[in-house]
Structure 1
Amino acid sequence: MPRRFSNPLIWVLIVFAMIGLGSYLWNSPQQLISSILIIGVIVGVVYFLLQRSRPAENNKYKKAVKQSKRKYAQPTTTLKKTSSKTTPMKKRKKETHLTVIEGKKNKKKNRASF
């Protein structure tokens, strides 16, 4: 079973962070909001730049998707228009009557004669 937050050092850091955010919010809430927005913009720009620097993986994935779509694509079927004239119904042939002939099931073969 993994240990979550069992180290006291982690708890001390979390408590100090909560105290710092609380005092920052109490003393200058406008500055707190602006700093959060600035950090968000910086993280967004860095993420965008990192995504643009790795196009090779994305291109390979797109190529594989195209190939699989071509390979497994369902053929498009065109609907045929029904003709307005009626065709006579084909007569069904009568099924042939088949009978099963009972054979000699219980008789064992003489293997020595082969």
Structure 2
Amino acid sequence: MNVRNWIIGGIFLLAVVGLGSYLFTNPAGLFRQLFIIAITVAIVLLIFRLVSNRLPSRRERNAFAKAARQSKLRAKRRKSQMKAKSHLRNRPLRRRSTAHLTVIEGKKSKKKDRAIF
């Protein structure tokens, strides 16, 4: 880890020396280059935001993750309850569904597009 710190420090020192010499020899070129870099970063961030707006929102992802956690906890509880009750009776009276679903907020009022037979 000590060698890595020396390497990073050396690279940082060379960068500072290079920028300082470039500032003294061609200050207009340095500022122009920094301006171009700033514009490029702004364009990349703008494109990233446009693309990320099309992805599901953070609120929806958090709601889905919460529903998945609750579903796992519910499944664990049922499993432990079934193990505790298994010695009382050998066969369950009725078979329960293995689907553990939780409703996530969304477009509930959207009409379904189905063909009527």
TM-score, scaled relative to structure 2: 0.45
Bigger radius of gyration: 1
Q: Which has the higher contact order (CA 8 A, sep 6+)?
A: 2
Q: Which has the higher helix share?
A: 2
TM-score, scaled relative to structure 1: 0.46
